[in-house]
Structures are given as structure tokens and as C-alpha cells.
Amino acid sequence: MPIFDYSCQACGHQFEVLVRGKRTVRCPSCDSQDLKRLLSAPSLRTSGTRHKSLDSARRRDAAQAKDRMHEQLQYERSHDRHG
């Protein structure tokens, strides 16, 4: 049961749909059958892509932790001045 990407020629809406058997596909926006099937890029998982994904997540988490620490310090400083 493949998932295909489509572009509606009537309204321009792009969407993906799981196609089962000989099902007729219609645009979810305008209900048109005038569709163009788009070329989808395959999703690949390798040790290299996994490593890049983990590195990206670590960098994002470190940046968020740094931002939280900075906000906490600003909060504490502002309350020390007033209290």
C-alpha cells in the first residue's frame, strides 16, 4: 500500500494519500479527479543519516538548554533587584 504525492490541477493543492487497490483518488480540497502524481523522494535510513540526525538533535538540545539557563539567570537577576 504505497503513499503517493499528488498535485491537483484544478485548485493547485498538494497532498499525499495512501492508495489501496484500484481506489480513485480525489483532491481533499475541491474533490477534483484532475490530479498529477508527483515524484516522491525515497526515505533512506542509513548509519550516516542516523548519525547526522542524532548530532542535529544534540545541538538543538544544547542550544535550548543554554537558552533556558540564560532566561533563568535573567529571571533571578530581575527578582534580586526588586526583592
Is 44's pLDDT higher than 90? no
Pure H helices in the chain: 47-82
Please, which pLDDT band fits residue 45 given cuts at 50, 70 and 90?
confident
What is the C-alpha to C-alpha distance for residues 71 and 7, in angstroms, rounded to an integer? 44
Question: Which of 67, 44, 48 lies closest to 56 in space, CA to CA?
Answer: 48
Mean per-residue pLDDT, 68-73: 95
C-alpha cell at 79: 527578582
pLDDT value of position 40: 72
Is 17's pLDDT higher than 80? yes
Mean per-residue pLDDT, 10-30: 91
